[in-house]
Chains A and B, each alone.
Chain A
Amino acid sequence: MSDTHAQTARFVRESMLPEREPPLAEVGAVKWVRENLFSGWLNILLTVVSAVVIGWILLHIVPWFWNSVWKAGSLSQCREIRDEAFGPGASSACFAVITDRWHQLVFGFYPQTLYWRPVTALIVFLIAASPVLFPRLPRQALWFSAISPFIMFWLLWGGSVWAPLSVLLGIVLAYVAFRIASRFVSPVLAMLAGVAVAVLCWGLLAGPLTTDMSRILPIRLRAVGSDDFGGFMLSFIIGVSAIILSLPLGILLALGRQSDLFFINKVSVAFIELIRGVPLIVWLFTASLLLNYFLPPGTNFDLMLRVIIMVTLFSAAYIAEVVRGGLAALPKGQYEGADSLGLDYWQSMRLIILPQALKISIPGIVNTFIGLFKDTTLVVFIGLLDPIGLSNAIRASTDWNGVYFELFVFIGLMFFICCFSMSRYSIALEKKLQREHR
């Protein structure tokens, strides 16, 4: 005690210090440049080399874009226009291929007079998606979101309106059966009852209902086969359907993998490991080739539908693992808190566990979705005309033989826009949830 310095031991502050600005050299751009670009000989050298490399790349790319030709009927015409305007041999992109084949790139071989249908379907999709993505919109709009898949299906594939309606009827009946059954038996049994009712309805009722109703009240659009689908429309349909379907399936698989019930647990684990362990392309070939051997002869199971199912199952396995990570990250106390209040399993999952686990899993889920969306280009290998497939087809024509980069730049850009907006949305959602929950 006695040997502490008198000055340090006795000190009383009379007035508090005011806040001061930091020194000028320690803030803003100047500081950043000095610290990050020119902080030593090696860094100065690296900065200069990088600047030269960037400059060299820009020197080649910028004129290529800047001199690009947007209106021409063929590659040779493109070249002529370039030679006239910028001199022969100038670096110039020929984006005319995109304007010339725009419809094909977007719609594939969908009948030209019916382009309004996919466009309307897209509008329906955007309207249906907005209340799901933005919770501030009125909740009643979710009803429209729920029936929108049937509207979109009808718009895209056409045919009798009664076909999608009878599928919808099956789902409604299944739900009713589930609600009634859940009053008497356990939720799992009730769910099985619902599924059974749906299958019965689709198997026995849907066919005759569609035929009869079509005779009585023939509301139909011209049918368009899946063979005519192509371009970004195809990628978008496969990607979006798989994204929407794989999320609930993935969540169920994650819960199944956590379950104490032996059978459910083992089935989930086996499913996830099997699907994840085999490349997507193998599953796509399975969908396109092998499945035909197993299905009874004469059944014509649409190839696109098969692909959607395969892609859905594939990404569901990944989603399941991502969600499992979220579930594992929750403290055990959350499960116990929910249990101690008497909430049953499904209530505690739906109200307590999943909202938190999914929030944690958002980056991983969106990551999986982005991967899935880009993987839709793999369908080119089983003969579907996605944008990559179309670019091959376009190049095969005499008009556009030799166009490479322009098509790929365009396709890449379109995919980038989609994936980047998904990424931005997920970040915005994370921030919003962070703010709300703290």
Chain B
Amino acid sequence: MSDVAHEMQTSRAIDRSQMQVSDEVAIQITDMNKWFGQFHVLRDIDLTVYRGERIVICGPSGSGKSTLIRCINHLEEHQAGRIVVDGIELSNDLKNIDKIRSEVGMCFQHFNLFPHLTILENCTLAPIWVRKVPKREAEETAMHYLTKVKIPDQANKYPGQLSGGQQQRVAIARSLCMRPRIMLFDEPTSALDPEMIKEVLDTMIELAEEGMTMLCVTHEMGFARQVANRVIFMDQGQIVEQNEPEEFFGNPQSERTKLFLSQILGH
């Protein structure tokens, strides 16, 4: 992990004027537990996310960080505890789940764009079918966000014709078209070439600058340092340590965190 290099990539003046954390609770997770069969993936997770927070979740693979954010929009079901998103409690009621999903945007490691639809159709599909926005209006919104992620000229191509970085930016634009109040990122840059990581991170930084509430599972420590207001370290399905980035990187408390940081920053 050439962390220094990434840090340099993302080092530009970040406009922090809009990055404000409010007192309003966006996500409240209490005593949440999850098992995959007999395997206890998430143990007693307690986490409160306030509106405007930018949280980076890191940890070794298998620590449950992806599973945690996938529970927030119910791509994974939790077996015990409560998750409340935007005041709506996640239950097994399908209507509730769809409602939450339409308010919470998500970007995946492998983009998960729809290969049989054009970029524009990828972006307008959910607004048209879920939000019942007229087609014309949905297309205008889509073009607005595609311009924002700097690929308006690719609108009529198919995902397979784009590079990985471009695809991930389309995926971000696709989520934004639903005008979500919270964005989840599940290792958005892990499947990308080093050259493309920067363009995706830049898009994410811009999003943060606009005050979006974000939860990112990522190994980009440069991004964590610059953008996050809170870094969470997970291991064995538990939150081991969380702190402001400066404290987290400069003065980690737990032995496990120290070991992890020395592993990923050490070379």
Contact B106 A356 (CB under 8 A): no
Answer whether A337 and B113 are a contact pair too, CB < 8 Å, given A342-B102, A344-B98: yes
Contact A333 B130 (CB under 8 A): no
Question: A116 to nearest B CB, angstroms?
Answer: 43
Tell whether A221 is near chain B: CB-to-CB under 8 Å.
Answer: no
Partner of A337 from B98, B114, B160 at Cβ < 8 Å: B114
B residues in contact with A334, CB < 8 Å:
112, 114
Answer whether A341 and B178 are a contact pair too, CB < 8 Å, given A437-B158, A437-B160: yes
Contact A340 B98 (CB under 8 A): no
Answer whether A333 and B108 are a contact pair too, CB < 8 Å, given A340-B75, A342-B98, A351-B125: yes
Contact A438 B158 (CB under 8 A): yes
Answer whether A340 and B114 are a contact pair too, CB < 8 Å, given A347-B130, A351-B125, A436-B158: no
Contact B116 A341 (CB under 8 A): no
Contact A333 B126 (CB under 8 A): no
A residues in contact with B108, CB < 8 Å:
333, 336-337, 340
Answer whether A355 and B116 are a contact pair too, CB < 8 Å, given A339-B75, A340-B73, A438-B161: yes
A residues in contact with B114, CB < 8 Å:
334, 337-338, 352, 356
Contact B129 A343 (CB under 8 A): yes
Tell whether A266 is near chain B: CB-to-CB under 8 Å.
Answer: no
Tell whether A359 is near chain B: CB-to-CB under 8 Å.
Answer: yes
Contact B75 A341 (CB under 8 A): no
When chains A and B are docked, how far (Å) is the Cα of A384 from the Cα of B126? 51
| Shortest Cβ-Cβ A-B pairs, 10 listed | A342-B102, A337-B112, A341-B126, A333-B112, A342-B101, A340-B106, A438-B160, A342-B130, A437-B116, A342-B98
Write the chain A residue with the least CB distance to B114.
Answer: A352
Chain B residues numbered 73-114 whose CB sits less than 8 Å from any CB in chain A: 73, 75, 94, 98-106, 108, 110-114
* Residue among A342, A344, A355 with the highest chain B CB neighbour number at 10 A: A342
User: 11 A-B Cβ contacts within 8 A?
Assistant: A337-B112, A340-B73, A340-B104, A342-B99, A342-B102, A342-B126, A342-B130, A344-B94, A352-B125, A356-B116, A437-B115
When chains A and B are docked, how far (Å) is the Cα of A359 from the Cα of B116? 10
Question: A350 to nearest B CB, angstroms?
Answer: 9
Q: How many chain-A residues does the 8 Å CB contact rule pick out?
A: 24
Tell whether B174 is near chain A: CB-to-CB under 8 Å.
Answer: yes
Q: How many chain-B residues does the 8 Å CB contact rule pick out?
A: 30
When chains A and B are docked, how far (Å) is the Cα of A331 from the Cα of B110? 10
Chain A residues numbered 413-438 whose CB sits less than 8 Å from any CB in chain B: 433, 436-438
B residues in contact with A331, CB < 8 Å:
110, 112
Question: A317 to nearest B CB, angstroms?
Answer: 27
A residues in contact with B110, CB < 8 Å:
331, 333
When chains A and B are docked, how far (Å) is the Cα of A341 from the Cα of B178? 8
When chains A and B are docked, how far (Å) is the Cα of A338 from the Cα of B101? 10
Question: B135 to nearest A CB, angstroms?
Answer: 14
Question: B174 to nearest A CB, angstroms?
Answer: 7
When chains A and B are docked, how far (Å) is the Cα of A355 from the Cα of B158? 15
A residues in contact with B75, CB < 8 Å:
336, 339-340
Contact B129 A347 (CB under 8 A): yes
* Residue among A186, A338, A351, A436 with the highest chain B CB neighbour number at 10 A: A351
When chains A and B are docked, how far (Å) is the Cα of A336 from the Cα of B106? 10
Given contacts A343-B129, A437-B158, 4 further A-B contacts (CB under 8 A): A341-B130, A344-B94, A345-B94, A347-B130
When chains A and B are docked, how far (Å) is the Cα of A294 from the Cα of B136? 56
Chain A residues numbered 191-232 whose CB sits less than 8 Å from any CB in chain B: none
Contact B102 A341 (CB under 8 A): yes
Question: A179 to nearest B CB, angstroms?
Answer: 15
B residues in contact with A359, CB < 8 Å:
116
When chains A and B are docked, how far (Å) is the Cα of A356 from the Cα of B113? 12
A residues in contact with B111, CB < 8 Å:
333
Contact A336 B178 (CB under 8 A): no
Write the chain B residue with the least CB distance to A333.
Answer: B112
Answer whether A341 and B125 are a contact pair too, CB < 8 Å, given A333-B110, A336-B108: yes
When chains A and B are docked, how far (Å) is the Cα of A342 from the Cα of B174? 12
Chain A residues numbered 100-125 whose CB sits less than 8 Å from any CB in chain B: none
Contact A341 B174 (CB under 8 A): yes
Question: B195 to nearest A CB, angstroms?
Answer: 23
Write the chain A residue with the least CB distance to B171.
Answer: A337
Question: A432 to nearest B CB, angstroms?
Answer: 12
Write the chain B residue with the least CB distance to A186.
Answer: B94
A residues in contact with B94, CB < 8 Å:
186, 344-345
Question: A430 to nearest B CB, angstroms?
Answer: 13
When chains A and B are docked, how far (Å) is the Cα of A336 from the Cα of B102? 13
Question: A264 to nearest B CB, angstroms?
Answer: 15
Write the chain A residue with the least CB distance to B129.
Answer: A347
B residues in contact with A436, CB < 8 Å:
116, 158
Question: B129 to nearest A CB, angstroms?
Answer: 5
When chains A and B are docked, how far (Å) is the Cα of A347 from the Cα of B98? 11
Contact B112 A342 (CB under 8 A): no
Write the chain B residue with the least CB distance to A340.
Answer: B106
Question: B76 to nearest A CB, angstroms?
Answer: 10
B residues in contact with A437, CB < 8 Å:
115-116, 158, 160
Question: B192 to nearest A CB, angstroms?
Answer: 15
Question: A4 to nearest B CB, angstroms?
Answer: 29
When chains A and B are docked, how far (Å) is the Cα of A418 from the Cα of B174? 44
A residues in contact with B98, CB < 8 Å:
342-344
Contact A341 B160 (CB under 8 A): no
Contact A341 B158 (CB under 8 A): no
When chains A and B are docked, how far (Å) is the Cα of A437 from the Cα of B161? 9
When chains A and B are docked, how far (Å) is the Cα of A231 from the Cα of B108? 57
Question: A333 to nearest B CB, angstroms?
Answer: 4
A residues in contact with B104, CB < 8 Å:
340
Question: A406 to nearest B CB, angstroms?
Answer: 48
Contact B101 A339 (CB under 8 A): yes
A residues in contact with B103, CB < 8 Å:
342
When chains A and B are docked, how far (Å) is the Cα of A347 from the Cα of B129? 8
When chains A and B are docked, how far (Å) is the Cα of A91 from the Cα of B106? 75
When chains A and B are docked, how far (Å) is the Cα of A340 from the Cα of B183? 11
A residues in contact with B73, CB < 8 Å:
339-340
Write the chain B residue with the least CB distance to A352.
Answer: B114
Chain A residues numbered 299-351 whose CB sits less than 8 Å from any CB in chain B: 331, 333-334, 336-345, 347, 351
Write the chain B residue with the least CB distance to A437.
Answer: B116
